[in-house]
Structure 1
Amino acid sequence: MAFADAQKIGQYQQAMDTRDLIGQAKGILMERYKITAQQAFVILTKASSLSNVKLRDVAIHLASTGEIITQ
């Protein structure tokens, strides 16, 4: 039971970290291009889809390099 609870906590923490990373990436795009949060999210999801890279990894790349993944 304790192991299952610890696993759930780890999953929740990972989900929160992913949400924060995507938020940071959206913020970068919003500031750079003067767009809405929804538009920034669309850009991230399209980059993820076109490059076949997980959304989380697209966000990490943008936040660390300032560049969006393009194929």
Structure 2
Amino acid sequence: VGVLVERYGLTVDAAFQVLVRHSQHHNVKLRDVARRLVEEGDLPDEVTSQA
């Protein structure tokens, strides 16, 4: 969440919702979405376009 807040100027709640939507849409556990963001420093364009 903090990465999205810092990079895109989102609120904590909005950043969390971006991660949740991606998790649900792709049937990927939320922790795995967050791990990818931290480890790779990026998420697919579809996630960042929601931000």
- Could you state the TM-score of these two structures normalised by the residue count of structure 2? 0.80
* 1:68 CA displacement: 1.9
Q: Percent identity?
A: 44
* 1:38 CA displacement: 0.1
Q: For the residues of structure 1 that align with 2:28 and 2:9, how far apart are their CA atoms?
A: 25
AA in 2 matched with 1:61: R
Q: Tell me, which stretches of 5 or more residues in structure 2 are unaligned?
A: 47-51
Structure 1 residue 28 and structure 2 residue 3: aligned?
Answer: yes
Query: Greater helix share, 1 or 2?
Result: 1
Q: 1:39 aligns with which of 6, 14, 29?
A: 14
Aligned to 1:64: 39
How many residues align structurally? 45
The list of structure 1 runs, each at least 4 consecutive aligned residues, that deviate by more than 3 angstroms after superposition, is none
Q: For the residues of structure 2 that align with 1:37 and 1:50, how far apart are their CA atoms?
A: 20
Larger gyration radius, structure 1 or structure 2? 1
Q: CA RMSD in A?
A: 1.2
